[in-house]
Amino acid sequence: MALIVQKYGGTSVGSIDRIRNVAERVAKFKMLGHQVVVVVSAMSGETNRLIGLAKEINKDPDPREMDVLLSTGEQVTIALLTMALKDLGLKAKSYTGWQIPMSTDSAHTKARIEHIDDSAMRADLEQGYVVVVAGFQGIDANNDITTLGRGGSDTTGVAMAAAIKADECQIYTDVDGVYTTDPRIVPEARKLDTITFEEMMELASLGSKVLQIRSVEFAGKYKVKLRVLSSFEDEGEGTLITFEEDSMEQPIITGIAFNRDEAKLTILGVPDKPGVAGHIVAPIADANIDVDMIVQNIGVDGTTDFSFTVHRSEMKKAMEVLEMVKSAIGARDVKGDDKIAKVSIVGVGMRTHAGVASTMFKALAAENINIKMISTSEIKISVIVEDKYMELAVRALHQAFELDKEPSAA
Amino acid sequence: MALIVQKYGGTSVGSIDRIRNVAERVAKFKMLGHQVVVVVSAMSGETNRLIGLAKEINKDPDPREMDVLLSTGEQVTIALLTMALKDLGLKAKSYTGWQIPMSTDSAHTKARIEHIDDSAMRADLEQGYVVVVAGFQGIDANNDITTLGRGGSDTTGVAMAAAIKADECQIYTDVDGVYTTDPRIVPEARKLDTITFEEMMELASLGSKVLQIRSVEFAGKYKVKLRVLSSFEDEGEGTLITFEEDSMEQPIITGIAFNRDEAKLTILGVPDKPGVAGHIVAPIADANIDVDMIVQNIGVDGTTDFSFTVHRSEMKKAMEVLEMVKSAIGARDVKGDDKIAKVSIVGVGMRTHAGVASTMFKALAAENINIKMISTSEIKISVIVEDKYMELAVRALHQAFELDKEPSAA
């Protein structure tokens, strides 16, 4: 007998029929003798409907009241799912965030979990109940309802699993696991049986939308065994997210992420002296523009070129800031390029294998794809290429690292 | 400066525009220096939508989960109204039932209020906040969400007014007050400036849908000054519901109620001996059929006829029960009639005026309307007439008692 936390997203509970399917899946686990805690999101579309109502009143609605409003979405789902479980003859009981209680700080609309009291849930589990928990919501020290922000139901699932020391946290979604890359771009993309937390963090932050990044951090911190599965398929083990220590020999590269949401800005002929990077980045940060990659080359003639990427929608604003910075620091010119894409290879194996970067650059060169910018971390290499080459670059890299093949034990 | 509780029903908060209107009305009272507690229902249609979802799962959904589900309706409204109030520059704060807390018993879907803790609300009021309260919902001793049943928002409003000792409880609805009868049937029907609690009780239970009967009982018990007003008109004082002691000389008759939802059942030739009424009514009650009027005539030949009315939809079921009763007690025959209507005149003045019944019966006779059944209480006389005469009977009585004229001080 295991203690399992299952989390179902908005699409998985998007209609009464789907809620029934979830109830049947839960019933199967219960029949196998497991204890089950189910964490659910709002029915798909509901959160946006509620946000729409609030924005009709004020574009920037009061955050406390926003949380009162949005938390109703998950509350509807827990009631309906619990009814469906009881309809199957199971014992089941719903919990709102405040009923658990799940304590958070008071940062409305983006609260952080502080403590989960598992005593009531545990008593119910021991009496054979399926415990159905509203994701995304908590209660703060003022007795006010809080929400964790978008994707917070994943985080609730993982935090719940950590609090009750579950054997596994299963995240059900509309994909059947984590893939080496997007199968819509590379048909040979392969579902991974396992992926490390660190890889998952890099892939998630690079735009793979399978899991919310904060839930992965949480799982890593509390060593929660996390599995991503499809709620629309009955078979399949999904993808298990592991700690590196647990894993067998790793493949060099695990997956390829990409996105075309960014724009590249370059400030040319910057006087090459200490502190200049700060003079450039600080005003960008002050303008509330998030910076992703930053690259600076060593200068040759007493000046240097400084490049960074921002979200494409903020390029214009960033250019305006840089024009002011240019005069202030005596740089030569400012250039912006929004016809770019970022392609990243991720894998814990690259730490111990030389030549990964070389394989990557050669594969791109073989397709005549020019690299405009490079940045690297321990387990990731990202390149900026011309927008129109993005899919080609992903396919070339997928093949070069033989991601379509099952990794052989080394 | 007064402390006012205002209650707005589902139609009054049925859209964002209407919520804005409510906010503006509240703002006016606030500007006049009053303290305001606002109790709201779910947006019109929302409760039915939620019930529809639950019934898709099970025709008889789990009551605890039903309350979790339905309470979201009012929670959405309090958030949106509070946002709208803040948008007007007012200080405002929303309260769910459990945040107040409003304690109830554990009778899910029809809970009764046990206690309202007014300390948090009172502190907010004293700091200048408009307090926005979700109607219809509470919390029981198990920390479970409860609801008061349909119309429970009126009851919440009155209970809140009693708890915080409000100067007045204003119930805003889609009519501008209580009328002598339905203006759709009698165009001369007149809005009453005042009506006594007892009259209101009789009129409400007879089918006037202005106020929920339990809220009137509550107001009477705790001596809450209750006023019914229209949320769609800016002018008008509505109808104030008074205690008889407060009132000036009463008119004899205050209003006329009617409904055609009932059916009449008669069991003929019942042996006239003690206990026989119980033998007839008990099996009807056991079958969960509500009985309204009961009439039994004194027998002439050792037998008697026993008549009563039930909701029209339950006539068939009641007839089946009576057929069994007939054999058991040795009665002669059973008859059912669903082509009937009930017309009632109500007025505290009839206590002290002889001849009210006589005026009523004469007025009906003048129109050749045959009376099939009569029952009376302290302040009400009800008659059953043939269905097709209902409107005619109401009009004849409205004229006979001169209800279109303002009552003159006696």
pLDDT digits (tens, 9 = 90+) for B67-99: 999 999 999 999 999 999 999 999 999 999 999
Helix (H) or strand (E) holding B19: helix B16-31
Distance from the B119 Cα atom to the nearest Cα atom in chain A, whole angstroms? 14
User: What does pLDDT average to over chain A?
Assistant: 90
> What pLDDT is attached to residue A245?
58
Give the DSSP per-residue string, A103-153: EE-S-TTS--EEEE--HHHHHHHHTTPEEEEETTEEE-TTS-EEE--TTHH
CA-wise closest residue to A262 among A318, A216, A306, A213: A318
Cβ–Cβ below 8 Å for B58 and A83: yes
Distance from the A20 Cα atom to the nearest Cα atom in chain B, whole angstroms? 8
Would strands B333-337 and B262-271 be described as parallel, antiparallel, or unpaired?
Answer: antiparallel
Among B19, B50, B65, select the one facing A82 at the smallest CB separation. Answer: B65
Cβ–Cβ below 8 Å for A54 and B82: no
**Residue A157 confidence class, pLDDT cut points 50, 70, 90:** very high
**Inter-chain contacts counted by CB atoms under 8 A, chains A and B:** 105
Q: A72: which chain B residues are within 8 Å (Cβ-Cβ)?
A: 72, 75-76
Fold (CATH) for A249-403 = VC0802-like (3.30.2130)
What gap in Å lies between CA B71 and CA B280, rounded to an integer?
Answer: 40
> What pLDDT is attached to residue A301?
77
**If you measure CA to CA, which chain A residue comes closest to B96?**
A68
Question: Of A35-39, A76-80, B67-71, B298-302, which range is least confident?
Answer: B298-302
What gap in Å lies between CA B151 and CA B132, rounded to an integer?
Answer: 18
* Cβ count within 10 A of residue A245: 6
Section B23-37 average pLDDT: 96
pLDDT exceeds cutoff 80 at A235: no
Q: Cβ(B343)–Cβ(B394) under 8 Å?
A: yes
**Residue B409 confidence class, pLDDT cut points 50, 70, 90:** very low
pLDDT exceeds cutoff 90 at A295: no
Peptide bond into A61 cis (omega under 30): no
Helix (H) or strand (E) holding B83: helix B63-87
Q: Which residues make Cβ contacts (< 8 Å) with residue A144, sequence separation at least 6?
A: A64, A67, A106, A108, B99
> Looking at this protein, which amino acid is placed at residue B139?
I
Quote the DSSP letter at residue A216. Answer: H
Cβ–Cβ below 8 Å for A69 and B76: yes
Q: Which residues make Cβ contacts (< 8 Å) with residue B157, sequence separation at least 6?
A: B5, B6, B7, B39, B135, B169, B171, B215
> What pLDDT is attached to residue B177?
87
Distance from the B269 Cα atom to the nearest Cα atom in chain A, whole angstroms? 48
Cβ–Cβ below 8 Å for B69 and A61: no
Whether A3-244 shares its CATH topology with A249-403 is answered no
**Residue A250 confidence class, pLDDT cut points 50, 70, 90:** low
Q: Cβ(A372)–Cβ(A384) under 8 Å?
A: yes
Q: A78: which chain B residues are within 8 Å (Cβ-Cβ)?
A: 65, 68
pLDDT exceeds cutoff 90 at A173: no
Q: Cβ(A270)–Cβ(A303) under 8 Å?
A: yes
> Looking at this protein, which amino acid is placed at residue A12?
S
CATH superfamily of B249-402: VC0802-like (3.30.2130.10)
Cβ–Cβ below 8 Å for B79 and A93: no
Section B120-135 average pLDDT: 97
> What pLDDT is attached to residue B57?
96
Give the pLDDT confidence of B230-276 residue by residue, as tens digits: 888 877 889 998 876 555 556 789 999 998 889 999 999 888 877 77
> What pLDDT is attached to residue A209?
65
Domain ranges for chain B: 3-244, 249-402
Question: Of A171-185, A357-371, B54-68, B321-335, which range is least confident?
Answer: A171-185
3-state secondary structure B195-232: EEHHHHHHHHHCCCCCCCHHHHHHHHHHCCCEEEEECC
User: What does pLDDT average to over chain B?
Assistant: 90
Give the pLDDT confidence of A135-146 residue by residue, as tens digits: 999 999 999 999
Section B175-203 average pLDDT: 88
For chain A, what percent of residues have pLDDT higher than 70?
Answer: 95
Indicate left, alpha or beta for B236 from its phi (over 0: left) and psi (-120 to 50: alpha): left
Give the DSSP per-residue string, A258-319: EE--EEEEEEEEEE--TTHHHHHHHHHHHTT--EEEEEEPPPSSSEEEEEEEEEGGGHHHHH
Cβ–Cβ below 8 Å for B79 and A86: no
What gap in Å lies between CA A213 and CA A210, rounded to an integer?
Answer: 9
> What pLDDT is attached to residue A176?
85
What gap in Å lies between CA B71 and CA A96, rounded to an integer?
Answer: 12
B22-30 contact pairs (CB < 8 A, 24+): B22/B81, B22/B84, B22/B172, B22/B231, B23/B81, B23/B84, B23/B85, B23/B87, B23/B88, B23/B90, B24/B88, B25/B172, B25/B231, B26/B85, B26/B90, B26/B130, B27/B85, B27/B88, B27/B90, B29/B4, B30/B90, B30/B130
The CATH classification of domain B3-244, taken from the options 3.40.1160.10, 2.60.40.10, 3.10.20.70, 3.90.1150.10: 3.40.1160.10
Section B381-407 average pLDDT: 93
State both tokens at A227.
Answer: 């599995």
pLDDT exceeds cutoff 50 at A371: yes
Give the pLDDT confidence of A98-125 residue by residue, as tens digits: 999 999 999 999 999 999 999 999 999 9
Cβ–Cβ below 8 Å for B65 and A20: no
Distance from the A176 Cα atom to the nearest Cα atom in chain B, whole angstroms? 27
Question: Of A17-26, B118-127, B286-295, B299-308, which range is least confident?
Answer: B299-308
Section B28-44 average pLDDT: 96
Q: Which of A100-104, A381-385, B107-111, B223-227 has the highest mean pLDDT?
A: A100-104
Cβ–Cβ below 8 Å for A83 and B62: yes
Which position has the token pair 């992703």?
A: A292
Section B39-48 average pLDDT: 96
Quote the DSSP letter at residue A49. Answer: H
pLDDT exceeds cutoff 80 at A150: no
> What pLDDT is attached to residue A264?
94
> What pLDDT is attached to residue B82?
98
> What pLDDT is attached to residue B410?
43
Q: Cβ(B262)–Cβ(B307) under 8 Å?
A: no
> What pLDDT is attached to residue B408?
61
Cβ–Cβ below 8 Å for A96 and B57: no
Give the pLDDT confidence of B134-180 residue by residue, as tens digits: 999 999 999 999 999 767 899 999 999 999 999 999 999 888 888 89
* Cβ count within 10 A of residue B55: 13
What gap in Å lies between CA B223 and CA B161, rounded to an integer?
Answer: 10
